[in-house]
Chain A
Amino acid sequence: MVILFILFVILIVIALWLMGVYNGLVQLKMRVKNGWAQIDVQLKRRHDLIPNLVETAKGYMKFERETLENVIKARTQATQATTVKDKEGAENILTGALRSLFAVAEKYPDLKANQNMLALQEELTSTENKIAFARQYYNDEVTRYNTSVKSFPANTVAPMLGFAPEEFFELKDLAEKEPPKVSFT
């Protein structure tokens, strides 16, 4: 009788613990999902801006067809990507294409002074920053989630409950920031 009672108590404790682990992981996973949704929104904004940018640049950059076509092609590929890894690759190619577009645009002072172009550049900078921040938020949440999934003792039951580690999302920055000055004094 006593043994049965003890077993019953142990079972209840295990069930409560499982419930706690499950709820905790669900909460973290929802945050990861929310983070991913934010990235998606910002990437879409980026894709929406590019046709405008190309249209404005086209009027000035008559001899740079190839650069402009590369940007358009990279954008099309990026809009079609679905998984995290695919998106990562496609967005990095798009960043590369945009970088070369801006490098070429340096040669056209008229284009650089164009009010429309300046406004677009501000929008693009803003969107790039938003992507960077959304990525930062997502990766932070993934780290927290993965840590929980992989740490003992939750790692013994997490796969059974259907929680697998999530992937990070890495992107290159459009503007390469100059390294900060460091002094060791």
Chain B
Amino acid sequence: MPYSFTEIEKEKSWVIKFVFAFLLVFYFFAAQLLWVVTKLFFNDFYLPAKIPQLFSFRELIIVSIVALAVASLHWYYSTRNMIADLTGMLDARPPDLKDTYHKKLQNVVDEVSVATGGKNISCYVVPSSGMNAFAISDFEGNSVIGVTEGLLSRISRSQLEAVIGHEAAHIASGDSFSTTVICSLFGIYGALLEGINKITLRRSGDGSEERISVGARFGAYLLVVYMVLLVIKGANYLLNLFISRQREYRADAVAVRLTRDPLALSEALYLISRGWRGVGVIPGSLSPIFIMTPDTDGLEESEGVFSDLFSTHPPVKNRLKILLGMAHSDLGSLKSGIKERARTPVEEVPVAAGISSAAPVKDWLFYKDSSWQGPFAIEDLISSGLNPASWVSNINEGIIRQAAESSSLTDALKGRIPGPTKPENVCPKCDQPLSEVLYEGAPVMKCHYCGGIASGRDVAARVLAREDYSFHVETAVVAEALMKSHWAANPPNFFAVTDRLTCPVCKNKMDRGFFTYGLPIVIDRCVKCGNIWFDKGELEILQYLTEKNRGTSYYKRDVSKPLEK
């Protein structure tokens, strides 16, 4: 690496001094202004002799002390816990190593950390389907690279490696430290401001009486906070002056030095620049730590003194030009080189054929296709599609009952479940253990018999960000029909639900409701642990709808034709 440890430490202490000096000056001017305004306000204008006393040496000293105190407090509280604050703000969490995508990310981060000569870097995942990545580091030299779920699922391994290389370059060169400090000092408050804007907008759209009175009570308080945050956001803009656009070029160059693959980095940048980068979810004021600004604006993409001063990232086309120059390639061949990802058909769990040595006893009748069939042995029953809910009868007993009620059939059904199971996690509909399977690389629990899926809330978000599998033919038809039935306009009465399901994990009752109002698919959600139960096909329909909203190329085809399997 071109940067030695001492150089980084030197730059670090420089950054600390500089930013603290900036804070001091900022608060000094703010306090002085406030003081002068207050004095003018209480000034007796009939006595003009008082006006020259606006500035006095003693007052300047007091103002300086106040500014120093406020700046120190601000510094102390903002930089105490930078990594936790920023990752908390972005809702980033450590990778789930059971998940194939997360495992891949962990591996790639480890690989790149080897390339930097063994820097200790941990990785985080942001549960958003936008495409972006960030790097932060703190005083103690802890560093974090975060990647959004969307980026993770939509770029190849070598492209991911290039992106991580870029972020590792920021960490290795020490400039992620300065952006982290600036973001924790000002960016977080800017993000709060964006949050308040969002809340107030939502409030005004909501017509209920109670909310408004609560809003009115908080109104005055909110206004003060708003003003303060506005000033701090202004300071953030000023401080962005000192974040050079050059550091992104430099990080691109170091990333190529680390991974020796300029083409992969340019492909990744191209894909990120073409996709949704998380605006709305990722606060714009935290953009310095990201590989590309979440929000697209003209400033970032233009050149000249003004945009050089105020923007934090250089134009994508310039970055691409430099990288493609290194790879002896051009934009045309880059575009033609990016292929649509091949999709595998939805994975079905294969049923293994049973092996038994003794001759099976054929004594079960099975009600199937509206007629009684049989007699069958238990093995035959199961291979002809026995469910826990199917009606069966044993010749020797002469009673008609459901398969789940017979202990021998229940045991046989249990023996057929592939994959690891836990006896405490049972299907809320079939009462059979759920098997742990990987669906789109994410660990979920699936019922082998009814095809329902139980998944954690964040795991469901992960699945919705991924595009490995194609869809069943009927999924598109059902999804379109559901959307046409205007459930969103006439929501069914969920309070009338009597058959509430039991959560397969914590055993509490589950509530029935829409997944979201934008995706009005009825699912069951555990109130306590947030687990979601999807009946067969529901998750796939949600995937279909989110992917359609996302507008992937998979949908730019004739709607009247059924989707290929």
Decide if B115 touches A180 in the complex (CB within 8 Å). Answer: no
What's the A-B contact tally at a CB cutoff of 8 Å? Answer: 57
Which one of A12-20, A92-100, A127-135, A163-171 is at the B interface? A127-135
Contact of A122 among B107, B333, B337, B438 (CB under 8 A): B107
Tell me, in angstroms, the Cα distance from A115 to B350 when the chains sit together: 13
Interface string of B78-115 (1 = CB under 8 A from A): 00000000000000000000001001100110111011
Contact of A35 among B103, B117, B327 (CB under 8 A): B117
Given the known inter-chain contacts A181-B333, A182-B328, A183-B328, please indicate yes or no for A122 contacting B111, CB distance below 8 A: no
Contact of A183 among B117, B161, B333 (CB under 8 A): B333
CB distance from B106 to the nearest CB of A (A): 9
CB distance from A7 to the nearest CB of B (A): 35
Decide if A136 touches B260 in the complex (CB within 8 Å). Answer: yes
Within B316-347, the residues touching A (CB, 8 Å) are 327-330, 333, 337
Q: How many residues of B contact A (CB 8 A)?
A: 25
- Whether B118 is near chain A, meaning CB under 8 Å from some CB there, is yes
Decide if A130 touches B118 in the complex (CB within 8 Å). Answer: no
CB distance from A46 to the nearest CB of B (A): 13
Contacts of B286 in A (CB 8 A): none
- Whether B263 is near chain A, meaning CB under 8 Å from some CB there, is yes
Tell me, in angstroms, the Cα distance from A108 to B302 when the chains sit together: 54
Contacts of A184 in B (CB 8 A): 328
Interface string of A15-43 (1 = CB under 8 A from B): 00000000000000001001100100010
Decide if B114 touches A180 in the complex (CB within 8 Å). Answer: no
Tell me, in angstroms, the Cα distance from A122 to B111 when the chains sit together: 12
Chain A binding surface SS class: helix
Contacts of B260 in A (CB 8 A): 136
Contact of B114 among A125, A137, A182, A185 (CB under 8 A): A137
- Whether A79 is near chain B, meaning CB under 8 Å from some CB there, is no
Which residue of the partner chain B has the closest CB to A141?
A: B117
Contact of B111 among A35, A115, A119, A129 (CB under 8 A): A129
CB distance from B105 to the nearest CB of A (A): 11
Contacts of A114 in B (CB 8 A): none
Contacts of B112 in A (CB 8 A): 133
Contact of B115 among A119, A136, A141 (CB under 8 A): A136
Q: How many residues of A contact B (CB 8 A)?
A: 24
A-B contact pairs, 28 of them (CB 8 A): A34-B117, A35-B117, A38-B118, A115-B438, A119-B100, A119-B103, A122-B107, A123-B107, A125-B157, A126-B108, A126-B110, A129-B161, A130-B110, A130-B111, A133-B115, A133-B258, A134-B114, A134-B115, A136-B115, A136-B260, A137-B114, A137-B115, A180-B327, A180-B329, A181-B333, A182-B328, A183-B328, A183-B333
Interface residues of B (CB under 8 A from A): 100, 103-104, 107-108, 110-112, 114-118, 157, 161, 258, 260, 263, 327-330, 333, 337, 438
Interface residues of A (CB under 8 A from B): 31, 34-35, 38, 42, 115, 119, 122-123, 125-126, 129-130, 133-134, 136-137, 141, 180-185
